Structures are given as C-alpha cells and as structure tokens.
Amino acid sequence: EPEVTQTPSHQVTQMGQEVILRCVPISNHLYFYWYRQILGQKVEFLVSFYNNEISEKSEIFDDQFSVERPDGSNFTLKIRSTKLEDSAMYFCASRKTSGGNTGELFFGEGSRLTVL
Amino acid sequence: DQQVKQNSPSLSVQEGRISILNCDYTNSMFDYFLWYKKYPAEGPTFLISISSIKDKNEDGRFTVFLNKSAKHLSLHIVPSQPGDSAVYFCAARSSGQNFVFGPGTRLSVLP
C-alpha cells in the first residue's frame, strides 16, 4: 500500500542551525502539506503546496520556513535558523483529489525535531 | 480561536462497550469532516469521513454522526477493542481551505 515517507525520523540540532526535513508523498497525489505537533499540543497546519507553489500558509510559517519540491518525488521543509520553540513533531501529508471536498490526508510517520 | 474543539481530553471505556468521541466546530463554512487516530510516535491515520450533505457515515465498527445545526459531530466505536486505545483527532475543512484539527481525545479501552 502506498504511503508517505519522511526522513529523518529524529533530528537534534543546535539553535540557529538550518534544518531540512524530507518527505516523499504518495506518487499520484497532487496536494502536499506540512503540519506540526508540539508535545502535548494539537496538530497545527503549517503550509500547503499545489502545482509547484504554496497555496496556503499559517501564521506559524514565517520567513524562517520554506518548502520546495526539488524533483518529482521529494517535498522538503526547511527551517533556516531554528529556535527552541521549533522543537516539535513535523508531519508531512499528501492528498490526491484536485477539487471538491473529498480526499483525506495521508500522513507520514513524522520527523521529530529537537532544538537545543 | 479554536475552530474545532474536542472538549474531552481523555475517555476510558471498557472493552466491548461503545466509545463516543465528540467534536464541536464554530465555522459554519466547514463542509467536510474527518476522524484520525494517532498512536504515539506515529503519524495520524485516517479513520472515517463525512460530508455535510450527510448526517451519518458507517464503516465497520466506526460510525460518524453529523449534526449541522448544532455544529457537532461524534465518532462511535462499537464494540471497543484494546487496540483502539489512541488519540483521536477530529478535523474539518471548508471548500478550498485546509484542514483544521481539534486538540484530540485520548481513548483508553480497558480489557
């Protein structure tokens, strides 16, 4: 069964360092997302990506964050200069349908980011 | 501004009994709702969805009920099994917008 894969599963970094989290969405999906969950808190939307551009982003997704689909398979989240409060589980998700309200999100296993 | 609320942070149910997880929303533009289950250190997995044109959707042991006038939906699990113990998230979206997740309810099914 196709699945969303994420790497690394866990990354520890020093404050101020750049981090790239990688995702391989399901191959025939058209919409791509990043969500995050700070420990003990709810799952928060960061950004959605469609047709090689950002379609929507939340207030969390400031200038320190960027996303890219460098080739036909990978979808990356870059945090330029990490802060302590960026420590969270980051989930990549993808969705197939191109319109309407149907189509659930398929999530990856998550990448745990720890900023020291 | 919490658009999707799950007011019970936790719920304990005896194995074999019914689990009822509740979700309330404030945005009347939401027209598609999903339930996800999440085990520790794993990504959320899709359980069941419902469109606003329906008031009930059933899939095996899982049934979702939608009351649009009350802006309320619920997930029923019958019969509950120990493997159902997880955090359950309600999510909602309006057309063209992204999914908004509730804070989750931790379900514990006791053997």
A43 interface with B at CB cutoff 8 Å: yes
Higher pLDDT, A9 or A96: A9
Note the pLDDT of residue A102: 56
Of B64, B68, B70, B63, the closest CA to residue B53 belongs to B68
Chain A residues in contact with B53 (beta carbon < 8 A)? none
Chain A CA closest to residue B102 = A42
Mind telling me how many Å the CA of B99 is from chain A's nearest CA? 8
Q: Residue by residue, what is the 3-state secondary structure of B42-86?
A: CCCEEEEEEECCCCEEEECCEEEEEECCCCEEEEEECCCCHHHCE
pLDDT at A5: 95
CA distance B42 to chain A (A): 5
Q: A2-27 pLDDT, tens per residue?
A: 789 999 999 999 999 999 999 999 98
Amino acid at A6: Q
Interface size, chain A vs chain B, as Cβ–Cβ contacts under 8 Å: 55
Q: Is A102 on the interface with B (CB under 8 A)?
A: yes
Of A102, A105, A112, the CB nearest to B99: A105
Of A44, A48, A91, the CB nearest to B43: A91
pLDDT of residue A36: 94
Sign of the torsion formed by the C-alpha atoms of B85, B105, B54 and A104: negative
Query: B10-14 and B105-110 as β-strands: parallel, antiparallel, unpaired?
Result: parallel
pLDDT tens digits, residue range A27-57? 888 899 999 999 888 889 999 999 889 998 9
Task: Give A71→chain B minimum CA distance, Å.
Answer: 24
- A84-95 pLDDT, tens per residue? 999 999 999 998
Whether the predicted pLDDT of A103 surpasses 80? no
Which residues of chain A have a CB within 8 Å of the CB of B49? 102, 104
Which carries the bigger pLDDT value, residue A98 or residue A57?
A57
Tell me, what's the pLDDT at B1? 62
Residues 60-79 of chain A whose Cβ lies under 8 A from any Cβ of chain B:
none
Closest residue, chain B, to A44 (C-alpha)? B101
**Does position A83 have pLDDT exceeding 70, yes or no?**
yes
CA–CA distances in Å: residue B17 to residues B37, B58, B100: 18, 17, 30
Average pLDDT per 10 consecutive residues for chain B, totaling 111 residues: 88 97 94 92 90 94 97 97 96 83 94 90
If we measure between CA atoms, which residue out of A86, A84, A72 comes closest to residue A20?
A86
For B106, nearest residue in chain A (alpha carbons)? A40
pLDDT at B41: 79
pLDDT tens readout for residues A59-81: 999 999 999 998 878 999 999 99
Q: Is the pLDDT of residue A99 over 80?
A: no
- Of the residues B99, B100, B105, the best mutation for testing chain A's interface (the one with the most A CB atoms within 10 Å of its CB) is B99
What pLDDT is attached to residue B16? 97
Q: What is the pLDDT of residue B42?
A: 85
